[in-house]
Amino acid sequence: MGECRMQKMLAFLSLMLVTLPPIYGWGTDGHSIICKIAQTRLTEEAADAVKQLLPKWAEDDLGSVCSWADEVKFRYRWSSPLHFINTPETCSYQYKRDCKDEDGEAGRCVAGAINNYTSNFSPTILPQIKLNPLHVGFASDKGGNTIVVHWYKTKQVLHHVWDTNIIETAEERFYNSNVDDMVDAIQQNITNEWADQVKRWETCSLNKTACPDIYASEGIKAACDWAYKGVKEESVLEDDYFVSRLPIIYWRLAQGGVRLAATLNRIFG
């Protein structure tokens, strides 16, 4: 597979993964969890296409490539605005108002990137998709990146708490730091507790390949309702915050996996 095709595939995957509640996207484990869930839900055609596009070093593991865009955004600095959406301090999202970069160029946000990758997709090129609550956050604090808090005894920014800390704490406490066990637990919820929601997560109106405006609207709502709520500079976030927010993390990771699979199935179906 050519390097250009592989990079475009990895880019698409990374963007699709941001579709969840955190402000700028998940950390490494969050991305991996979403892709592992998605890979189990691919149709035969989609699974074969993804297998053909994955680099050999991935050993057919979609989860191993899903943090690519986060890793290369420092090399390809033009891509940085494609990882997030900044809104004014309002708990709503509007594409025309919010999807632009710091220079005001329209379409330069994660929703615009998803639209672009999926609309210009051909069977030989795979895009990327991702969304976490603080990847759709307030411009004033850069999606929680300037809000300094304490995660138990460790100083962090709020964005990192949602990207990484909540997930890693859950892995350590409940899954012996085994990410695959956490994936299994989320998949059981998809099959059982959330089974009646799955069809809605998978569906896009007007025969669209992906629905980033829906994902972004959900993201800013989750950011307001859960990430920002009750938090101020130097807040100490401990068990009350962790226990109440963890179900939202599970739910958004599940949505991301289901939606990524549905998007790839539509592309390769």
- Evaluate whether residue 236 is within a structural domain: no
CATH code, domain carrying 71: 1.10.575.10
Domain range enclosing 95: 3-144+198-224+250-268
Look at residue 153 and tell me whether its pLDDT is greater than 60: yes
- Evaluate whether residue 124 is within a structural domain: yes
Look at residue 23 and tell me whether its pLDDT is greater than 50: no
Count structural domains, the chain. 1
Look at residue 246 and tell me whether its pLDDT is greater than 60: yes
- Evaluate whether residue 208 is within a structural domain: yes
What is the C-alpha to C-alpha distance for residues 12 and 4, in angstroms, rounded to an integer?
12
Please, which residues have CB within 8 angstroms of residue 68's CB and are 6 or more apart in sequence? Answer: 7, 10, 11, 13, 14, 128
Look at residue 137 and tell me whether its pLDDT is greater than 50: yes
Please, which residues have CB within 8 angstroms of residue 84's CB and are 6 or more apart in sequence? Answer: 18, 23, 24, 25, 109, 110, 135, 136, 137, 143
**Quick check: pTM over 0.75?**
yes
Query: How far from chain centre, in Å, is Cα 73?
Result: 15
99 close to 44: Cβ distance less than 8 angstroms:
no
- Evaluate whether residue 216 is within a structural domain: yes
What is the C-alpha to C-alpha distance for residues 219 and 224, in angstroms, rounded to an integer?
9
- Evaluate whether residue 161 is within a structural domain: no
What is the C-alpha to C-alpha distance for residues 166 and 41, in angstroms, rounded to an integer?
25
- Evaluate whether residue 182 is within a structural domain: no
pLDDT digits (tens, 9 = 90+) for 75-124: 888 888 888 999 999 999 999 999 999 999 999 998 998 888 777 654 43
Eight-class DSSP state of 101: -
Query: In the chain, pLDDT over 70 holds for what percent of residues?
Result: 86
- Evaluate whether residue 259 is within a structural domain: yes
Task: Enter the tokens of residue 209.
Answer: 């390949």
- Evaluate whether residue 184 is within a structural domain: no
Query: How far from chain centre, in Å, is Cα 239?
Result: 24
Mean pLDDT over residues 177-204, rounded? 97
- Give the pLDDT confidence score for residue 1 in this predicted structure: 44
